[in-house]
Structure 1
């Protein structure tokens, strides 16, 4: 009988496992050890930062899900009075101040207030940085080869791709366990040999990427991820100007994160581990090359647009959170105008961006126009409760709202920030984008 090789734990990690730091840290180390041994890890690596996704804050904190989230966290957080590394946190499930407008009942709102409220107070007491955003890299940027634990789809991609940090697709339990213990199993993206590209996605010259609007990057992302599937892609022939815009990169990475589940992609000349195509590929010399052109972009729009009637009930922007560049684009269109009386136009952003927008006078303009502005909440999850036709500039959001299924109760119009803002004013989808739906 062959004896199974166990993970190596250093003295400090072994003491945690033996319960010398309390039951909570012990439980966290048990989880990490079990995960590591199941995946063949030889040892743990120390992390310098974690981004948390606690289910009692993020995942439908009412009803059965709310009870499940509380019970799941209960064992982990006992005996915990601090974390081992700096940590940020995901958005709250919903801003309770606008929950009624997203069709939640009074009972659900009261229950969410109890579940989320107690959880938020506890995590902030632990010293968690209260970012409440899927864009924590604006607050806590990573470094090349730095090991981190991230529980958020676009953030996992951003830290691996844009910073060259090393992180797996950790879930809420693993990221909290890592923040408690200060370590994770050395598996997957933590190992350099697993980070090379496995397929080339080449942008055809016919695709004028410098003329793209924001939603075109979502469509490009969907087109690539549907063809590369679970293989790490390296994108070639993408203009360097794309790497100079956080908003463009947000739209590019968010869709791949959800559609393919990939933790990493490379972009030649833009991302730190892909200065050249050859370096990004490493030992993978003969790989498939896929071509992305105008037809593939149009097909992606057709997948995301499930609405067939042009009236609009909701415009939901902020999956991931609206950036300052997007705020500026909305202001140019809506200043001096009004949201259509049959439309609820909701913008979800970070507290940082909301405060900045307020300082610039944008919030006064938006409120006068009838726009609802919220921060620190997940418009993707909360928006799944509404019934009616939704317009969004996010394919990630479109997937959560409709599942790309035309039979769902909330059909989606997907298009640019400009198109969505005009739809909010007119009360109907007009379209007009080069590749988009109309």
Structure 2
């Protein structure tokens, strides 16, 4: 079967032919090539972009960004930047050798030269400027993609490095994939009615649920049913989506009675009669144990990692409340909190971060502890409520991980060893 021919508008043809500059032409060639791969018949305009390419993985990424900038390219839509390889607010915190640190900094500058906003966060949805329901955008970074699609109801495909900045420069993406309404329909129902409201009161439990959702859904579109909307907030959906995008190829999920497309589709027959699977507490406990990689529960706890994806203002508030009455963290256990500059400024002004810092917590911005060398060589056993951190850190930085709720993490950080409260998982 012959793929349909791509039809370009006059403006798009001008971009491709160099009428908007050599840099824009280079970017448009990439977008057109992707459209051919996806079988798209046309391109569509976008209202914003989020760039993952600014994380340094090698010289090729730097060459690409500098080439675009050198050819005079610039973004044409509001564009945010994902985490980088460095924390520019805390020099020396990241232990990259100069051979990597210098080009990593150059890569950050190249994307700023292209006109992107220096947000340096994996959670652009925590900004005051975020896409509205139904808007077409080009977001990269797996958790940002699934949050935008699922929680905000914006439309983005799984855009990766290089194509993300090309979309931002041209303001176009192929009319394909999750930009099409028919590809956003649920393909599987996950019945969560057996999970108690009390059990769903912890983000780590939502992370375990996300692991189950990702494994069961693959690259499909699950509809989670049977969850009380009163127990849902954005941080819990963030925990669910970020872990599901790690354990599977998930880019979109729906929660009945909660997420915008599920609310809009109430009574739609296309959302009924789906294949169904019951999710049980035993499945969540199994997911928790599988996300706890190689850690010896009897060994000392070296660190706690919070904020993957980046800690929100609400999460800092929950942390401050949870720290009331708790002592300082054990001197042998460092508590790391990853967040964005924007959120950090807000919680410093409101006083929500001081309680953690007074007990010894260390703040990381611009990057994340699971992807760049921040933890010291002595920090081998780490506890976290983040399914994404638990999924990737063992591979990326070679640590043993224990997945736990926030209260389990804080109790353990104070004791200097892993403490479990199985009642939170029963």
Q: Could you tell me the TM-score, scaled by structure 2's length?
A: 0.90
Aligned pairs, how many? 420
Confirm or deny: 8 A CA contact 2:199 2:205 kept in the other structure.
no
The one-character-per-residue Cα deviations of 1:69-96 (angstroms, maximum 9, x if unpaired) are 2123233333235311111110122326
1:134 partner SS: coil
Q: Distance in 1 between matches of 2:25 and 2:81?
A: 22
Q: Distance in 2 between matches of 1:197 and 1:281?
A: 11
Q: Distance in 2 between matches of 1:165 and 1:303?
A: 32
1:120 maps onto 2:108 in alignment: yes
Q: Distance in 1 between matches of 2:89 and 2:117?
A: 22
Alignment correspondent of 2:235: 247
Q: Could you tell me the TM-score, scaled by structure 1's length?
A: 0.88
Alignment correspondent of 1:429: 418
Confirm or deny: 8 A CA contact 1:389 1:410 kept in the other structure.
yes
Alignment correspondent of 1:10: 9
Confirm or deny: 8 A CA contact 1:301 1:414 kept in the other structure.
yes
The one-character-per-residue Cα deviations of 1:367-394 (angstroms, maximum 9, x if unpaired) are 3322111222122212687550111110
The one-character-per-residue Cα deviations of 1:37-85 (angstroms, maximum 9, x if unpaired) are 111100000111111112xx31xx3xxx331221232333332353111
For residue 101 of structure 1, report the CA deviation from its aligned partner: 5.7
Q: Distance in 1 between matches of 2:373 and 2:275?
A: 38
For residue 183 of structure 1, report the CA deviation from its aligned partner: 0.3
Q: Distance in 2 between matches of 1:85 and 1:232?
A: 28
Confirm or deny: 8 A CA contact 1:218 1:395 kept in the other structure.
yes
1:393 maps onto 2:385 in alignment: yes
1:350 maps onto 2:355 in alignment: no
2:261 partner SS: coil
2:370 partner SS: helix
Q: Distance in 2 between matches of 1:53 and 1:92?
A: 9
Alignment correspondent of 1:34: 33
CA gap of 1:312–1:383, structure 2 versus 1, over 3 A, is farther
Alignment correspondent of 1:50: 49
Q: Distance in 2 between matches of 1:188 and 1:127?
A: 27
Alignment correspondent of 2:406: 417
Kindly report the root-mean-square deviation, in angstroms, between the aligned alpha carbons of the 2 structures: 2.6
Confirm or deny: 8 A CA contact 1:168 1:189 kept in the other structure.
yes
2:130 to 128, 134, 141: 141
CA gap of 1:253–1:338, structure 2 versus 1, over 3 A, is same
Higher mean alpha-carbon deviation, 358-367 vs 157-166, is at 358-367
The one-character-per-residue Cα deviations of 1:99-147 (angstroms, maximum 9, x if unpaired) are 8666x35xx1x34442233333333344322221111112222222211
For residue 172 of structure 1, report the CA deviation from its aligned partner: 2.2
For residue 97 of structure 1, report the CA deviation from its aligned partner: 6.5
For structure 2, which runs of at least 5 residues remain unmatched after alignment? Answer: none
Q: Distance in 2 between matches of 1:206 and 1:165?
A: 28
Alignment of 1:14-413 (within 5 A): 14-54=13-53, 57-58=54-55, 61=56, 65-95=57-87, 104=95, 108=97, 110-139=98-127, 140-208=129-197, 211-243=200-232, 245-275=233-263, 282=270, 286-306=273-293, 307-310=295-298, 311-334=300-323, 337-382=327-372, 387=377, 388-402=380-394, 409-413=398-402
Q: Distance in 2 between matches of 1:342 and 1:419?
A: 17
